[in-house]
Amino acid sequence: MTGPGPRVTLLETSARVAPGLLTAEAWDLVRRVPVRCADGEHPLLAPLRAAGVEPRPLPTPAGAADGDAATSPAPSPVDPAASLVTQLRAEAVDAGADEIVWLLDPVGGWPGPRASLDGGLRAFAATRGAAEHARILAGTHDVAGSSLLDAVAVMDRLRSPGGCPWDAEQTHASLAPYLLEEAYEAYQAIEDVAPAELREELGDVLMQVVFHARVAQEATDGPVGEGGSRFDVDEVAAGLVNKLVRRHPHVFGDVAVAGADEVLTNWDAIKAAEKGRRSVTEGVPLSQPALALALKLQKRADKIGVPADRVLPEGADAPAGAVAAALAGELDEPGIGDLLFAAVALAAAAGVDPEVALRARARAFRDGLAAAEESARADGVDPASQDATAWRARWPRS
């Protein structure tokens, strides 16, 4: 069928919304025109029939359903989506209707059994089908954050029998390096001011959270609340929500604050009361990078009034003396440690984050080294064969 005629409406719903919770526009439409689908078990069939609508499953054109390539029949030379649209429009004509509804598979966390057909229909409506021939109608609307349910569902599929063998054998310990790696990659995306990369890397960090929660869900020694190792992603999320509410009484309670500094003061006080800690050093992760660790400890000390001369090495000229000794090659490991610890303190006093400063310097060095190597190669010289004079000549001027 070509030319003007009935329109095919592809009704799009979400697997995250209960069947039957359709928009008013969708309900008005399905009550007025014929409804067809490919799946006799489609989740919308029961609520539609309960409302007096009689949807009818249709055999789909050859090549329209997904399946094992080794056992599926040869692909049809006719586009299955276009063929189905023609078939549906003909059914609408027979029914004396100006429109007909096709129920797409609910969109979920991974492709359903008719993903290929649905993809073809969507493409037809978006690129080839004029508005009077085919359109997509959103019959449900997800709330913000609902895609997180898909992440949990996909991880459950991967860890369950019949899923991925590699994913199934992972533990908290085996996954730990990936947690750090993904966090550092997200950090680099921030440094590079690369929003698209940051979005992807945050997804990888989220995957680690979901992965660890799924591993914990399988623990057999009992729930965390009873001294065991078992918890699930809902407990992780609920714990976060409770913590955010408790520590923001100026938002969720009746506490008044004068500004951001007072928010931090209240946060620290609430946290200290919750944890029952006897030292400000408790809760500082010793596994973090050394510069960040030193800065964190020094900030904790400063908060409770520890004088600066307890942070810097002894003597007014100690930092300068340590630098001179280091340049002369006279410092041992403890001396180098004192020098670095003093550098962190001096950076903090200047309002500079030493980790950020050192990373920026390292990145600049990386760029300079790469440029000098490229200069050598452009001249047909192996960079590693150069002497100190050649390296100095090729090094970019700052």
Nearest one of 323, 321, 297, 320 to 310, comparing CA atoms = 297
Nearest one of 62, 34, 68 to 48, comparing CA atoms = 34
* Structure confidence at residue 313 (pLDDT): 60
Q: pLDDT 10s digit of each residue in the chain, 398 long?
A: 555 689 999 999 998 899 999 999 999 999 999 999 998 899 999 999 999 999 999 876 555 544 433 334 444 456 888 889 999 999 999 999 999 999 999 988 777 778 888 999 998 888 755 566 889 999 999 999 999 999 999 999 999 999 999 999 999 999 999 999 999 999 999 999 999 999 999 999 999 999 999 999 999 999 999 999 999 999 999 999 999 999 999 999 989 989 998 998 888 888 888 888 778 888 888 888 888 888 888 888 888 788 877 777 665 456 666 666 666 677 778 888 888 888 898 888 899 999 889 888 888 888 899 999 999 999 999 999 989 999 999 998 86
Q: Tell me the whole-structure pTM to 2 decimals.
A: 0.72
Distance between CA atoms of 102 and 137, rounded to whole angstroms? Answer: 10
Q: Residue 263, class by beta-carbon neighbours within 10 Å (0-12 exposed, 13-18 middle, 19+ buried)?
A: middle
Q: Residue 92, class by beta-carbon neighbours within 10 Å (0-12 exposed, 13-18 middle, 19+ buried)?
A: buried
Are the CB atoms for 3 and 86 separated by under 8 Å?
Answer: no
